[in-house]
Every structure is written in C-alpha cells, then in structure tokens.
Amino acid sequence: MTTKLTGVCTITLTPFDDCGNIDEASLRKLTNFYIDSGVHGMTILGIMGESHKLTENERLRVTDIVMEETKGRVPVVVGCTSRGTNVCAMLAKRAEEAGAAAVMIAAPAGLKNEDMLFRHYEEIAKQISIPIVIQDEPVTTGVIMSPKFLAKLNKEIPNCQYVKLEEAPTTVKTSKILELTGDNLGIFGGLGGMYFYEELDRGAIGIMTGFAYPEVLVKTFEKFSNGDKSGARDYFYHYLPLIRFEAQLGIGGVTIRKEIFKMRDAIKSAHVRFPGAAVDDRTLDEVKELINYVGLTTVSS
C-alpha cells in the first residue's frame, strides 16, 4: 500500500566526523531526533544531505541506516538524482527494495531538452512502482521546468505524483501547477522554508526543507491544517527571522544548519565535505543571537 506523503518531510543532513567519514552513530541519533521533532516524513540524500559528495556505496549505506532506524515510523523519500538515467534508475530500484516510500529526482544538470528530460523520468519510472518526487531545482541544475511540463509528467507518467519546488516565487508556480493538475500532483514547498505559510495558503500539501528547528514547521503545518490559518501565520512569522537567516546563506546554509544541529546535540560534528563554505565566528554569534531572539533553545526537548 502506497503511503501518502504530506506535511513536513524534512530534508536531512548526512553527518560526518571531523575527518569527513560518515558518522553512522550520529546518523542514527539524528534520525530519531527528526522523528521526535514530529516530522511527517524524511527526505534523505538531497542537496543538503551532500549526496553529490557521497560515493555510490555511501549513498546506499545512508539509505540502509535510515530505513533501519526509522522502523517504519515515518515515510522516507530517497534522493536518487544522478547525471545518468541508468544510475538514477539503479538507485531508485535499490531505494524501493530498501523500503523507501518514494524517490526524489532532479533533472540532470544542464539537460534543457524537454523531450530528453521527459524520457529521463519515463525510463526511471518503468523500473519502480513507488512514487517519484520531481525536484524542481533550477539553481543547482540550470534546468527550469515549466508548470506545463510538470503537468505533462504527472499526466503521462503515473509515478510522478509529487513535485518539490525550489524556483522562486514558489507561490505563483504552485498556483499555476494546481490550475493544470488539480490535486493530482502533490506540491511541496522548499526555498529554505521562507514561504511555507504562503505555500500552504496557495495549496501546497507540505514542505521539504532542512530548517534546523523542524518542530516549528510541524506546528505551523498543524495549525494551518486544523483551520487556524491566522494562528499558523502568526506563529510562522515569529520564527521567520531565523528561517530567513539560514536560507540566505547559500552553500553555507548546510554548514550553518550542521552547526545548529551540533548545538542541539543531534550530531557530533558540523563537518561539511569540501567544497563547502566555512562559517565564521561572527556568523555563529549572529545565529545564536537569533535563536535567543525568537525564544528557541539549543537544548533538545
């Protein structure tokens, strides 16, 4: 039975030790940290998970550890993006065998031919029976997928059931996609969480982002889902300064998030594999001030 994805499907980190090796103990601890935060799902091996810096064996190992540790408590979406269609298909098949609820796949970098891009998703879909989350990530891939093209993928490839939007403004694109697909294509917001309330108000079914306080996004979603739109907006806007600060850091966003998760004792090291931007002491002081300003704590609940 296919699990319906909705809510906060947090984009997860891949913890490393100070030497750059995968820290399996921290990965297990972090997995439970996310679940204890109330997330509705986990999306592993995305850009924030530094999947592009992992070997094929490391990607498979991360998948196995997370699936083993979740024990079915939340659905897991596995990132399977690769430049080669055959590699994507192999990773997707392996993810399905491991128990993934869905796979997330972005366009191969620079592939701007829509016919070839359609075939890319079509060939992968033939190899699996679980849903595909189309990762619309033009900043990294250089590929813009129009609402019309996303609707075509959804209509003609049954597995293409979700899309994660990263093209600003996500709000406008959400509305345009829903005009073409109705509720047949589930839309998840992104962009660091900066427009989560607005995305929900436009019809998104949730969000996939890596904000270091996922419980804030969870409560926002729950308030909105329970009909308290005003409460959801007020609550979300209260924490927006910290969300904004994380999101504006670009490549350094992974580092700052790892630093916060380290502060929260969810991982042991904030190491980011090279190339990755370091975070200076001034930035760390600023983020600590923001955490205090919005009334959060670095002590895990």
pLDDT digit string, tens, across residues 206-222: 999 999 999 999 999 99
Q: Once rounded to an integer, what is the mean pLDDT over residues 148-164?
A: 98
Q: Once rounded to an integer, what is the mean pLDDT over residues 152-156?
A: 98
pLDDT exceeds 80 at position 203: yes
* CATH code linked to domain 7-293: 3.20.20.70
Q: For residue 180, what pLDDT band results from cuts at 50, 70 and 90?
A: very high
Q: What is the pLDDT of residue 301?
A: 44
Q: Once rounded to an integer, what is the mean pLDDT over residues 36-45?
A: 98
| Mean pLDDT value across the chain | 94
- Domain ranges (residues) in the chain: 7-293
> Is 208 labeled as ligand-binding?
yes
SS (H, E, C) the chain: CCCCCCEEEEECCCCECCCCCECHHHHHHHHHHHHHCCCCEEEECCCCCCHHHCCHHHHHHHHHHHHHHHCCCCCEEEECCCCCHHHHHHHHHHHHHHCCCEEEEECCCCCCCHHHHHHHHHHHHCCCCCCEEEEECHHHHCCCCCHHHHHHHHHHCCCEEEEEECCCCHHHHHHHHHHHHCCCCEEEECHHHCCHHHHHHHCCCEECCCCCCHHHHHHHHHHHHCCCHHHHHHHHHHHHHHHHHHHCCCCHHHHHHHHHHHHCCCCCCCCCCCCCCCCCHHHHHHHHHHHHHCCCCCCCC
- Percent pLDDT > 70 in the chain is 97
Q: What is the pLDDT of residue 169?
A: 86
Q: For residue 189, what pLDDT band results from cuts at 50, 70 and 90?
A: very high
pLDDT exceeds 90 at position 184: yes
